[in-house]
Amino acid sequence: MRGKNIKTLIMLTAIVYMLFEAYSFECKAAGADDVLAYMNAARAEAGLPAYTVDETLQEAATTRAAECASRFSHTRPNGKAWYTVSSSSKGENLAHARNVEQSNPENVVLAWMLSPKHKANVMRQNFSYVGIAYYDNGCGDIYIACEFK
């Protein structure tokens, strides 16, 4: 009987873990989608076309968001420049949130719009494509990366 209880406990633990991971993934995806929506709203106000998600840039953003957990910088942990993550990347915006409020997509885009260099990337006329990713390090820090071309 004891062996059966242990197996049941292990199975329930695995199910809870999988549900949490699925929820976490959905929240990150929704956050990235909302960042895109807020950036596109700012561009629309300026008469600029909306960004389209590019899969290559999406992969680059996912890599860069994770890398920022070990080194929050436009220089990658391997010492190379940010644009070496992908030959497609022509611009990069990063954000580091220490709480849920800071990681709110509206606040992320607002912070970028208040920074002249980050705003320039969001509003650049010759950029049409983006990849956006969130990375949660599990210790309360959330990293957001946006790659542009």
Per-residue model confidence as pLDDT tens digits over 76-111: 999 999 999 999 999 999 999 998 888 899 999 999
The first and second tokens of residue 115, run together, are 């920074």
Letter string b/e over residues 1-20, b meaning 16 or more CB atoms within 10 A of that residue's CB: eeeeeeeeeeeeeeeeeeee
CB-based contacts of 143, cutoff 8 Å, min separation 6: 65, 66, 68, 69, 72, 94, 95, 96, 97, 134, 135, 136, 137
- Of all helices (H) and strands (E), which one includes residue 115? none
Asked if residues 141 and 69 have their Cβ atoms less than 8 Å apart, the reply is yes
DSSP state, residue 51 = P
pLDDT in tens, 106-122: 999 999 999 999 999 99
pLDDT at 100: 81
% of the chain at pLDDT higher than 70: 80
Look up the pTM and report it.
Answer: 0.79
Domain 2-148, CATH class in plain words = alpha beta
Average of per-residue pLDDT across 57-71: 97
pLDDT at 101: 83
- Number of other residues whose CB lies within 10 A of the CB of residue 115: 13
Rg over CA atoms, the chain: 18
